[in-house]
């Protein structure tokens, strides 16, 4: 059995299939980990969701900010914009089934046997593993409940941006969601900056990528994340691996086989590249 970890798919179904074929992925014996943002921006989010759902227990995934955005559109809270490329999914006959399956997926994965942690944006340096798991469980519980639209309506916003264990209610849920699905930079004290999206070479000097700050997570664990395509998989310290390499923007889809640390890449197809170029002009 092999464990394959793939960066943000973003609706790039053809590239996902080609990447899995490179490694002879066998869902009956292998396990597939996905860093979130399965949907949006790329050409075929519907096919991606149908395929991933069909894999059943062979998949371990987390939700990303674009997956949460889809849930908010479905709940009538956010607007479906052309650049999201989500209309075919929202209008599909099985859209209710797929989206309700999606909102019951985890927002954090921890495997103590493999010593692997996966969060879409990473793990804030203010959390240890136990705190991250607790905060993730709280978000997952409300997403899978009947009151999930109330949470989705309240999740948008950049504050609070500094963790305290005393935080409660919607403020705590919003911080946890931002830390797990939107985070890139922190101030030196660990406080989140939710504004800067630049590559590290272009970021203000007072900000540091979250993975450059001292972390409370056990160093024996490897943290896998996506979300940050401009890193192109580079620049992280030992024990932290970035897997989003911007396939939906014309880059590549990247996969790591955990057992032998072999990387596989699949260049974006012409279809994905053209869609990405068109969407870049719409941001």
pLDDT digits (tens, 9 = 90+) for 98-117: 999 999 999 999 999 999 99
Residue 283, pLDDT > 60, answer no
Q: In terms of residue numbers, what domain contains 276?
A: 3-280
Asked whether the beta carbons of 267 and 252 are under 8 A apart, the reply is yes
Q: In what order do the strands lie in the sheet with 59-61?
A: 59-61, 31-34, 3-6, 252-257, 262-267
pLDDT digits (tens, 9 = 90+) for 11-45: 999 999 999 999 999 999 999 999 999 999 999 99
Question: What pTM value is reported for the model?
Answer: 0.94
Residue 277, pLDDT > 80, answer no
| Number of domains composing the chain | 1
Q: What is the CA 46 to chain-centroid distance, rounded?
A: 17
Looking at residues 47-67, what average pLDDT do you find?
98
What percent of the chain shows pLDDT beyond 70?
95
CATH number of the domain where residue 12 is located: 3.60.21.10
Q: How confident is the model at residue 280 (pLDDT cuts 50, 70, 90)?
A: very low
Looking at residues 252-269, what average pLDDT do you find?
97
Asked whether the beta carbons of 78 and 69 are under 8 A apart, the reply is yes
């Amino acid at each position: 059995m092999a464990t394959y970890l793939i960066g943000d798919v973003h609706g790039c179904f053809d590239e996902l299939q080609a990447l899995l074929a490179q490694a002879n992925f066998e869902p009956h014996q292998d396990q597939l980990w996905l860093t979130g943002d399965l949907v949006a921006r790329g050409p075929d989010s519907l096919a991606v969701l149908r395929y991933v759902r069909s894999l059943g227990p062979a998949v371990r995934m987390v939700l990303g900010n674009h997956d949460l955005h889809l849930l908010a559109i479905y709940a009538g809270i956010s607007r479906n914009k052309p650049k999201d490329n989500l209309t075919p999914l929202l209008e599909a006959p099985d859209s209710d089934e797929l989206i309700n399956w999606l909102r019951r997926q985890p927002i954090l994965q921890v495997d103590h046997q493999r010593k692997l942690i996966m969060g879409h944006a990473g793990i804030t340096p203010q959390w240890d593993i136990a705190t991250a798991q607790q905060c993730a469980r709280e978000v997952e519980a409300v997403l899978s409940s009947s009151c999930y639209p109330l949470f989705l309506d309240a999740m948008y916003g950049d504050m609070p941006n500094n963790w305290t264990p005393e935080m409660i209610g919607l403020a705590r849920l919003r911080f946890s969601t931002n830390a797990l699905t939107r985070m890139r930079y922190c101030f030196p004290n660990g406080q989140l900056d939710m504004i800067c999206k630049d590559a590290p070479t272009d970021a203000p000097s007072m900000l540091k990528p979250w993975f450059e700050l001292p972390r409370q997570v056990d160093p024996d664990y490897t943290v896998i994340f996506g979300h940050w395509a401009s890193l192109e998989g580079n620049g992280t310290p030992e024990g932290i691996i970035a897997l989003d390499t911007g396939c939906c923007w014309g880059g590549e889809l990247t996969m790591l086989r955990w057992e032998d640390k072999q990387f596989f890449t699949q260049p974006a197809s012409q279809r994905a590249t053209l869609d990405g170029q068109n969407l870049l002009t719409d941001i």
